[in-house]
Amino acid sequence: MPNPNAPAAPLLPSPDDVIAAARLLSALVHHTPTLTSRSLDEETGARFFFKCENLQRTGAFKFRGACNAVHHLTPGQRAAGVITFSSGNHAQAIALACGMQDIPATIVMPSDAPAGKLQATRGYGAQVVLYDRYADDREHITRALMAQHGQTFIPPYDHPHIIAGQGTAAAELFGDVGQLDALFVPVGGGGLIAGSALATRALSADCRVYGAEPATGDDARRSLHTGQIVHIEPPRTIADGAQTQHVGRHPFAIIQREVTDILAVTDQELIDCMRFFAQRMKLLVEPTGCLGLAAALGMQGALRGQRIGVIISGGNVDLERFSALVSQGTPLNE
């Protein structure tokens, strides 16, 4: 498991790796729809295209990277099993990807992860080990289990095969709608935005790539602006999929080279976007999945007249929590 402060490994995925992953995954993942909103276009003066990874298998984009990484395991690694840590979406993705190939999977998950994500991870056949995200060290727990059982670690984001797999969502988007002026992508550990940036370079080279993360957990934004990986305490935000403490080394090397900027948004902005998706587009989107739209709306004046892509990263939110969140505040555009 890499030290987040160590120099980046020289081997990084390339745009060709994303294209190769897209070919591999075409029979395994859903080609999720790209949806539009006439009312949003009229209100912003831009043309928005939403890549709906909330409709992906396991309910999030993470299944793409998990399938790509599991595909590259050796026979010995498959026999020994896989281990990872995750707040939920990567957990479910690894559990299903391994379950499809009868590979044992162990997932280290925070005890306050959404109940639906915990239930689904177990339902896909994985063994779940719980920890306290504010008191325990998930990497230490994972290392101890690896030393005891010899599993192969597949990280949530800091891995070339994960990055290449995640980039296939953006590759599909460009294939569906053509060239874009800007692409907005949620940021946690950086795997999705790194893969998306590689896909952008290959398929829409003039498109600007923006990341979006919670204001209380803006480690990736600070890392990009300072030129080195910034480590933070576990952020307190409703965007549980973006409660990472640092961006990965592999993603950061790509982010530095390919990403225009990373923007921070508030939890209230995420709630507003959850309401918009539910009311106007009839989509159930988790808070993390709303990061891209919230960031785009924050700079909408600069986007007028442009074609804008937004990746909706996931839709795994407990209905009770969704109801409690969207009942707060003032609905977007009302």
Query: Residue 79: which residues within 8 A CB-CB, separation 6 or more?
Result: none
Cα 17-87-248 angle, rounded to 5 deg: 40
Q: Counting Cβ atoms within 10 Å, is residue 135 exposed (0-12), middle (13-18) or buried (19+)? A: exposed
Nearest to 180 by CA among 55, 305, 281, 32: 305
Cα 170-171-172 angle, rounded to 5 deg: 90
CA dihedral 49, 52, 53, 54 (to 10 degrees): 140
pLDDT of residue 196: 98
Q: Counting Cβ atoms within 10 Å, is residue 6 exposed (0-12), middle (13-18) or buried (19+)? A: exposed
Q: Which of 96, 122, 153 is the last residue of a domain?
A: 153
pLDDT of residue 1: 54
> How many domains, the chain?
2
Nearest to 240 by CA among 128, 140, 91: 91
Whether 75 and 119 share a structural domain: yes
Q: Which of 153, 187, 215 is the last residue of a domain?
A: 153
Whether 175 and 127 share a structural domain: no
pLDDT of residue 90: 93
Name the pairing type of β-strands 208-214 and 307-312. Answer: unpaired
Nearest to 257 by CA among 177, 197, 195: 197
Q: Characterize 99-128 residue by residue with b for buried, 16 or more Cβ atoms within 10 angstroms of its Cβ, and e for exposed.
A: eeeebbbbbbbbeebbebbbebbbebebeb
Q: From first to last of its 334 residues, what are the pLDDT tens digits of the chain?
A: 544 444 444 489 999 999 999 999 999 999 999 999 999 999 999 999 999 999 999 999 999 999 999 999 999 999 999 999 987 889 999 999 999 999 999 999 999 888 888 999 999 999 999 999 889 999 999 999 999 999 999 999 999 999 999 999 999 999 999 999 999 999 999 999 999 999 999 999 999 999 999 999 999 999 999 999 999 998 999 998 898 899 999 999 999 999 999 999 999 999 999 999 999 999 999 999 999 999 999 998 899 999 999 999 999 998 999 999 998 754 443 3
Whether 19 and 46 share a structural domain: yes
Whether 169 and 84 share a structural domain: no
Q: 98: domain CATH number?
A: 3.40.50.1100
pLDDT of residue 87: 78
Catalytically active residues, by annotation = 62, 87, 213, 217, 219, 313
Whether 247 and 273 share a structural domain: yes
* CA gap 300, 141 in Å, rounded: 43
pLDDT of residue 117: 86
Is 334 domain-assigned?
Answer: no
Instruction: Spell out the SS3 assignment of 38-91.
Output: HHHHHHHCCEEEEEEHHHCHHHECHHHHHHHHHHCCCHHHHHHCEEEECCCHHH
31 and 172 Cβ atoms separated by less than 8 Å: yes
* CA gap 30, 64 in Å, rounded: 9
Whether 179 and 277 share a structural domain: yes
Query: Residue 141: which residues within 8 A CB-CB, separation 6 or more?
Result: 85, 108, 129, 131
What domain range is 56 assigned to? 15-60+160-326
Residue type, 214: P
Residue type, 287: P
